[in-house]
Amino acid sequence: MPERRRRFDSDFKLEALRLADDPDRSDASIERDLGLFGGAIKDWRKQLRNHGSDAFPGSGHQTPLEEENRQLRRELDVAREERDILKKAIAIFSKKSKPSSSS
């Protein structure tokens, strides 16, 4: 049976990185002690370096850039829906009414 992937919150990751700053301990020994996968400290250090305070947003949370992207996509979807409705309305109102036949 495959092992279930564990998730760690930002506080845990930051504390692990603080422990890794100790020059007397290697990243591998900290990973073993904390039950982490090999290379976790290196990956987390890279994320922190690249994203700063936005690193480790957590499950269900997004970085500000990702949140802005999600919001802009939603606004675009709404604008497209409104455009399509207006196109249909124009088509309906621009049809010439058929002359009624009088007898």
Residues 23 and 40 in one domain: yes
Can you give the residue range of the structural domain that contains 89? 62-93
48-78 pLDDT, tens digit each: 888 877 777 766 667 778 888 989 999 999 9
Q: Are residues 22 and 36 in the same domain?
A: yes
Do both 11 and 53 map to the same domain?
A: yes
In a domain, 14, yes or no: yes
Whether residues 11 and 51 fall in one domain: yes
pTM reported for the whole predicted model: 0.53
- How buried is 47 (Cβ within 10 angstroms: 0-12 exposed, 13-18 middle, 19+ buried)? middle
Q: Looking at the structure, tell me whether residues 43 and 85 fall in a common domain.
A: no
Surface-to-core class of residue 82, CB atoms within 10 Å of its CB (0-12 exposed, 13-18 middle, 19+ buried): exposed
* Co-location of 53 and 87 in the same domain: no
Let me know if residue 1 belongs to a domain: no
